[in-house]
Amino acid sequence: MKHAHYDVIVVGGGHAGSEAAHAAARMGARTALVTMSRDGIGVMSCNPAIGGLGKGHLVREIDAMDGVMGRVADRAGIQFRLLNRRKGPAVQGPRAQADRALYKAAMLEETDARQNLDVIEGEVVDFLFAGQRAFGVALADGGEVRAHTVVLTTGTFLRGVIHIGDSREVGGRMGDKASVRLAERIDGLNLPLGRLKTGTPPRLNGRTIDWSVLESQPGDPEPELFSFLSEKAEARQIACGITHTNATTHEIIRENLSRSAMYGGHIDGVGPRYCPSIEDKVVRFADKDSHQVFLEPEGLTTDTVYPNGISTSLPADVQAAYIHSIRGLETAEIVQPGYAIEYDYVDPRALDLRLAVSSCENLFFAGQINGTTGYEEAAAQGLVAGLNAAAVALDRDPVIFSRTDSYIGVMIDDLTTRGVAEPYRMFTSRAEFRLSLRADNADQRLTPKAIETGCIGEERRIVFEDKIAKIGSVRESLGALSLTPKEVRAAGIEVAQDGSRRSGLDLLAFQDVRFSDVVLLEPGLSGTEPEIARQVKNDAIYANYIARQMRDVEALRREEGTGIPSDFDFDQLQGLSNELKGKLRAARPENLAQAGRVDGMTPAALTLILSRLRQDSRKRSA
């Protein structure tokens, strides 16, 4: 079958693929999303939740770039919670339970409605290459799709093996076939590969759970949504249940450890430390006789429940036995047993900051194939790869994210300079400029970049510019205030009577001063929308810290600005250990800042690199 010629082909319709295809299409590139089945677009294969700490930041940033994940999650959300609500806004993370069916439907609807975006159903079996340049894909039915650039987002398909106890099956997700020819082609590219694993819990039939004896966890009374464009949750809101494992559960698991794929020696891959299987928890935290289990309904129209916290690779009969030992689950029916999946990933140090494969042309990788875990991490990479694949096809400037502007930048930098040792998940602690990279200001940080890049719709631009104008005018009024301690105290705000005058912004910087307190001093602000007031307050809380960080930010930007040519020969540097040379060759840092984060880097080695760069540039200019 003959297909039209495209600017960008995205292979895979998961979270990375969907976001990549939408990003490319928003840029104006004619885009083809090639997937085994339309039915696979927007599927949540693991737990039915979006967001969380760090991850919620990523969703907000994707949304600020006018991406789709945030809007779709808002439409599908059935329980919204803002994590760390009591702590500072910098570490608050929006999270939502999503209805799987609603999510899929909303994503498909967005995809069908998107201009410039075609969905092609077919199994990709090979790339089309001219030398080192990719120019399309070959399909199993013998057809070909050609394009300027190709984005591969095929998750765990590379030598994916599913383990349930000692039985194993080759495949990506449950029910999908792993694509062998494409895997062989990727082998042929000689990219460095590693092996990882991840696990899922058994799915339960909610009708067979005794909810009456369980603790209930409701959502927030006022849902905190993901998208800056969303106004309210659309779906009916529900509560989750909470139960706990007990000594009997742990006893059953301990007795059957040898039958676990992970402990029986069937799996070599490295699993995430932060998301241990129940076997791991029982072994590593032997002194604890109980672990928390969240019972998360997978949707409004399904009975399936996802028991979060007990992923496993034990045989099905053992899973049933330990499930039935848990309070409220005594007669629970397992709809689908839990399993562990082992798969190859491409060492992301083989990619550049655009997620393009360094050793090829016009080929981009995004998502779990790069060693990450999580829908949000995948989608954020999809965004970066999609934007840049389109930029190449349309001959525009690359779209680069920095550690100083976004969690996306932090993640891309971490992946491409440090690689991964376990499935990479976002945490707020990974962002050294966490106080300024907040979920609440993602639009202020990135939407201007989106406007400049040209990947943004008219509606969002207008909403954003309106909001910025309002914030600006409130800040101006507050900044213009000049109040004596006496005047401040008269309004009921306690400050040191030190004689120094303070602006409204100075006052808001105090933890316990609310926006409404300051309105007493400037009645003209009484009509301020709550959203705007909250934003101004959040900015003020951290203003002093952010000012202090600016020096570090500038130093980092300067180092980011010191580029290292792709043909820079680390071997010729005398005084670098062979080990460090090897790591630098693998990471191929693109700038001095990246070189500084290569594992094992010393200041002496970094100065050596800087010196050589300067010397080379002097030689060139001489």
Partner 1 sequence: MDTIFALASAPGKAGVAVIRLSGPEAHDAVATLCGRVPNARRASLLRLRDGDGTVLDDGLVLTFDDGASFTGERAAELQVHGSMATVRAVLARLGDLPGLRQADPGEFTRRAMENGRLDLAQVEALADLIEAETETQRRQAQRMLDGALGARVELWRADLVRAAALLEAVIDFADEEVPEDVSVEVVALIDKVAAGLDAELAGFGAAERVRTGFEVAIVGAPNVGKSTLLNALAGRQAALTSEIAGTTRDVIEVRLDLGGLAVTVLDTAGLRETDDQVEAMGVSLARERAIGADLRIFLGDDAEGVPARDGDLSYRTKADLTGDPAAISAVTGQGIDRVIDELRRALEDRAAGAGLVTRERHRLALVGGRSALSEASAVVAHGPDLYDVAAEELRVAIRRLESVVGRVDVEAILDDVFSNFCLGK
Which residues contact partner 1 by CB under 8 A? 52-54, 83-84, 86-88, 90-91, 95, 274, 291-292, 427-429, 432, 434-435, 511, 545, 548, 552, 555, 558-559, 573-575, 592, 596, 601-608, 610-612, 614-615, 618-619, 622
Complex with partner 1: residue 410 or 481, whichever CB lies closer: 410
Report yes or no: 29 and 393 within 8 Å, Cβ to Cβ: yes
Rounded Cα–Cα distance for residues 104 and 42 (Å): 5
- For CA atoms 297, 298, 304, 306, the dihedral sign is negative
Q: Which two tokens stand for residue 300?
A: 């409004």
Give the Å distances, CA to CA, from 356 to 180, 192, 353, 365, 421.
Answer: 23, 15, 7, 6, 21
Rounded Cα–Cα distance for residues 151 and 138 (Å): 14
- The residues pairing with 49 across neighbouring beta strands, listed in sequence order, are 97
Q: Which amino acid is at 391?
A: A
Q: How far is the CB of 167 from partner 1 (least distance, A)?
A: 30
Rounded Cα–Cα distance for residues 150 and 7 (Å): 9
Q: Which two tokens stand for residue 416?
A: 């491409």
Q: How far is the CB of 156 from partner 1 (least distance, A)?
A: 24
Q: How far is the CB of 552 from partner 1 (least distance, A)?
A: 7
Q: How far is the CB of 245 from partner 1 (least distance, A)?
A: 11
Q: Is 20 helix (H, G, I), strand (E, B) or coil?
A: helix
Complex with partner 1: residue 394 or 546, whichever CB lies closer: 546
Complex with partner 1: residue 446 or 576, whichever CB lies closer: 576
Complex with partner 1: residue 119 or 592, whichever CB lies closer: 592
Buried b (16+ CB within 10 A) or exposed e, 286-295: eeeeebebbb
Q: How far is the CB of 573 from partner 1 (least distance, A)?
A: 6
Q: How far is the CB of 539 from partner 1 (least distance, A)?
A: 14
Q: How far is the CB of 435 from partner 1 (least distance, A)?
A: 6
Complex with partner 1: residue 200 or 528, whichever CB lies closer: 200
CA atoms within 13 A on the CB side of 279: 25
Rounded Cα–Cα distance for residues 513 and 481 (Å): 16
Complex with partner 1: residue 2 or 86, whichever CB lies closer: 86
Q: Which of 67, 123, 81 is nearest to 384 (CA)?
A: 67
Report yes or no: 24 and 31 within 8 Å, Cβ to Cβ: yes
Complex with partner 1: residue 365 or 433, whichever CB lies closer: 433
Q: Which amino acid is at 355?
A: L
Complex with partner 1: residue 476 or 552, whichever CB lies closer: 552
Rounded Cα–Cα distance for residues 617 and 597 (Å): 23
Q: How far is the CB of 570 from partner 1 (least distance, A)?
A: 12
Q: How far is the CB of 366 from partner 1 (least distance, A)?
A: 24
Q: How far is the CB of 100 from partner 1 (least distance, A)?
A: 20
Complex with partner 1: residue 162 or 431, whichever CB lies closer: 431
User: Can you point out the beta strands (E) in 253-330?
Assistant: 292-297, 304-308
Rounded Cα–Cα distance for residues 322 and 309 (Å): 13
Q: Which two tokens stand for residue 593?
A: 């800042």
Q: Which of 456, 521, 534 is nearest to 491 (CA)?
A: 521
Complex with partner 1: residue 65 or 437, whichever CB lies closer: 437
The values of phi and psi at residue 198, to 5°, are -150, 160
